[in-house]
Chain A
């Protein structure tokens, strides 16, 4: 089936929507009826046909509109894309892995011809055709990381490995859950995670860093993370918090089903071949509570997870102020029946 792209917005009138197909393939982040941090890492890609886990870089119906939203954010604030000088090679690594993957996985949408270092890239959905010399930045309109991530859904961080740690030395970050690349760039793994409550004491970061440092060439993994966002807004940045913050207080029992969104992050990790850096894409999926509750298993489970969650996490994830309204709404979808294990909806 050829992908149809939605014409939609992630700001202003918020015309974003999910088709039925998009809802059913959501990477629902809860595999049980409760939630606490874990290092929930598994191999990537790999998963049911049609799921967002099937291919290395998932392309879905929101592709074109998300790329337009990224361009608007970058025009407003060019600091959302930064790369320290030693990271250009990692940018080429990322460009290569994305172009090769997309051309193989979506041959009707993307094509890559390679003749030595002379490359020819065709991106049909965005109407882009580019001939360039691989590893020669003067042959692209911008740096390699910026070039390819303006054409790829999700935020991207490039992590440089040295001194037994990972350093966030480059990134493209326009759909973030309230963190600032401009502030965090140059930080190590523990420094950029400092604002996360509880996890450090639980040893989550030590384990995660050990895992990442042990990643070998050619390996890639994924994990799911989540938060809650009012309105389908991609740019929930701290920079603009005073602009989107007031929207968080507009939730009522009448509008919560359409306005309150579950924000799912499909995070993946890629050891890059030339730079030995790790690419860390953070792909965001948004679904309003109404969308979620079309799947009875998800409605039941989300009610239980958000009702019983540790208050510290409700605060950190930013929905404590609306938790009661959300849980009241969701309770109508929870008949108390048991839920099946795993994240996929019941057939």
Chain B
């Protein structure tokens, strides 16, 4: 499955250039689900990227774990969920030295959350690479209650925190790693447009 290409409907949507090997520099690689394939492609192009790499994988039901484990990264860590992986990710990012590369591959929600964390810890933007693979679900922050709903694939959708019906505004925050979502029936309570699947 190639790097996802998106419709131009959301201009501020981040563009994910794809992973490019940075040689044997120290690195942290984090992938979820089909993001594993982007890591496999990366290693295929230059196996040296693994020499000083910590590779963290959250399968979310996908079957790439054994392939990634066999790659021979300095450290391989399979995690049950992103929340479960956060202690390790915080430790690795917190201890990262200048020149450390961060490779992220998979869902927009995971990449948005980890890149926002990395930026807040002082990692420069150009040390972060991302490649979008798998689910086109997007992370949405409800502007009203501030709760984030992950993997949203419809427009409008229901906020998983406060229950308001929300539409997506053309607005993405790198600091938060989320899109902005706004009440769709604020002016006419109860009048809600038909739900549409987001196709890309």
Contacts and interface: CB of A to CB of B under 8 A. Distances in A.
B and A form one assembly: yes
Interface of A: 180, 182-187, 191, 194-195, 200, 238-242, 245-246, 248-249, 321
A249 B185 CA distance: 12
B11 A183 contact: no
Contacts of B183: 241-242, 245
Given A194-B11, A240-B144, A246-B186, 7 more contacts: A180-B180, A191-B172, A191-B173, A194-B12, A194-B171, A239-B144, A246-B188
Contacts of A245: 183, 186-187
B143 A241 contact: yes
B138 to A, nearest CB: 15
Given A183-B173, A186-B174, A242 B12 contact: no
A122 to B, nearest CB: 39
A182 B145 CA distance: 12
B173 A239 contact: no
Given A183-B176, A186-B173, A242 B164 contact: yes
Contacts of B141: 183
Interface of B: 11-12, 141, 143-144, 146, 164, 169-176, 180, 182-183, 186-189
8 contacts: A183-B143, A183-B171, A183-B173, A191-B174, A200-B11, A239-B143, A245-B183, A321-B187
A84 to B, nearest CB: 9
- Kindly name the residue among A200, A239, A242 whose own CB sees the greatest number of chain B CB atoms within 10 A: A242
Nearest to A321: B187
B186 A180 contact: no
Contacts of A194: 11-12, 170-172
Nearest to A318: B187
Contacts of A238: 143-144, 180, 182
A187 to B, nearest CB: 7
Given A182-B146, A248-B187, A195 B174 contact: no
A220 to B, nearest CB: 29
Contacts of B173: 183-184, 186-187, 191
Contact of B187 (A180, A187, A240, A249): A249
Contact of B170 (A187, A195, A241, A321): A195
B183 to A, nearest CB: 4
A240 B146 CA distance: 12
A296 to B, nearest CB: 33
Contacts of B170: 194-195
A246 B189 contact: yes
Contacts of A186: 173-175
A249 B186 CA distance: 10
A238 B171 CA distance: 13
Contacts of A180: 143, 180
A241 B11 contact: no
Contacts of B169: 195
A191 B144 contact: no
Contacts of B180: 180, 183, 238
Contacts of B188: 246, 249
Nearest to B116: A186
A60 to B, nearest CB: 31
B174 A241 contact: no
Which of B11, B12, B171, B183 lies at the interface centre, i.e. has the most chain A CB atoms within 10 A of its CB?
A: B171
Nearest to A182: B146
A26 B11 CA distance: 36
A321 B186 CA distance: 14
